[in-house]
Structure 1
Amino acid sequence: MSLVLDPTAQDLLFREARTANTFAEEPVTEDQVQAIYDLVKYGPTSMNQQPLRIVLVRSVEARERLTEHLSEGNRKKTADAPLVAILAADNEFHEQLPSQFPHFPQAKELFVERETRERSARLNALIQVGYFIIGVRAAGLAAGPMTGFDAEGVNKEFFGDGKHSALVVVNIGKPGENAWFPRSPRLTYNQVVTTV
């Protein structure tokens, strides 16, 4: 059975897409990031929460502040990437729910308890992280998502208000020389899917 999506687009988004470890020097523009966001914002989240927040790390000073909190293996590639994005969950996303989702005015009341709100923010922001990576690929760029960092340190450095929780750091750009590690195997359909 064929998919509706053109095979070339399937390759761009999935089969040929890889996590880049080196990047070309070509910059990533604000227009490119705007186009990525304007596409991926339509991906669904529970009750239209949209808790993902993105910090674009462009300046040398900010990049140095970030790399201090990365694991050793992630520092050089992050220092050299054309653009780095810190993807975080907004733990106070519920404050914007009434304007975003007028059909459920009681939605804000569901998230009064902080633990419930933070759990929901994390889950839904992580869903949006996946959309963001696919959006980067759709723009013809490579993404290098990383979770090897001191989240508490990144939160203190970039989210001093305590309302946000860093989830993933993503290097973004055109792939550079020797950008790819060998592709790791993927589980087969039968290893993953069961029917009940």
Structure 2
Amino acid sequence: MAESPSRRLDANALDCLFGAARTPQRWTTRPVDDALVQTLYEQVSLGPTSGNCSPARFVFITGSEGRERLRPALSAGNVNRVMGAPLIVVVAYDPLFFEQLPLLCPTEDLRPWFAADVGLSEETAFRNGTLQGGYMIMAARALGLDVLPVSGFDQSTVESAFLAEDGWRANFLLCLGYAEHEGLPPRAPRLSFGQGCRVIA
């Protein structure tokens, strides 16, 4: 019987995802191909969520009209970096994600459980939607894109401009594209294992 291939990434792949990956300061004008956006979402959708609930929803902003609708929501320090990105993603979540559970989790009748408990459904949607946003960061890097996560924006403005029709809630923004890597400052410090972790036997 043939051995299954190792699923451990090599050093180069890990470097692409973590070690060499940096938060962009400036962007090139190279566009993000539409087919790559489709592939990106397909990869993100494969990541695990609680009960396969998949509450994240993504709004991809590509043109000048959408950018101008976004501009008033951005904090002053984020305007240039966000507006200069080839692709901007509103990472959102659907508070009514449980309406899709008969499709996503057909072996268990989970919909009534969430539909009857607003607090539980909101917590589940936010937590798992955030998880899926993290998957998008890693998938984008794996596909050769640079990623700038942004939380400096007015949530209500973004929701009014892009999400109100569907009732989705904004979580954070991701700017995607191809960055200029020259002149980046040194990487900011990180906590050591001893500072950031506890091991309990």
With the length of structure 2 as denominator, give the TM-score of the two structures. Answer: 0.91
The Cα shift of 1:161 comes to: 3.2
- Number of aligned residue pairs: 193
SS of 1:32's equivalent in the other structure is helix
Counterpart position of 1:111: 114
The Cα shift of 1:186 comes to: 0.9
Matched, 1:90 2:97: no
With the length of structure 1 as denominator, give the TM-score of the two structures. Answer: 0.93
Q: Deviations over 1:110-135 (max 9, x none)?
A: 11222221111000000111100001
Q: Deviations over 1:41-65 (max 9, x none)?
A: 1111111010111101112111011
SS of 2:16's equivalent in the other structure is helix
Identity of aligned residues (%): 36
Q: For structure 1, which runs of at least 5 residues remain unmatched after alignment?
A: none
Counterpart position of 1:168: 172
Matched, 1:67 2:67: no
The structure 2 residue matched to 1:48, chosen from 52, 76, 95, is: 52
Aligned partners of 1:49 and 1:93 also within 8 Å? yes
CA distance in 2, matches of 1:169, 1:23: 16
SS of 1:23's equivalent in the other structure is coil
Q: For structure 2, which runs of at least 5 residues remain unmatched after alignment?
A: 1-6
Counterpart position of 1:127: 131
SS of 1:47's equivalent in the other structure is helix
One-letter amino acid matched to 1:124 = N
One-letter amino acid matched to 2:197 = V
Aligned partners of 1:49 and 1:97 also within 8 Å? yes
Counterpart position of 1:18: 22
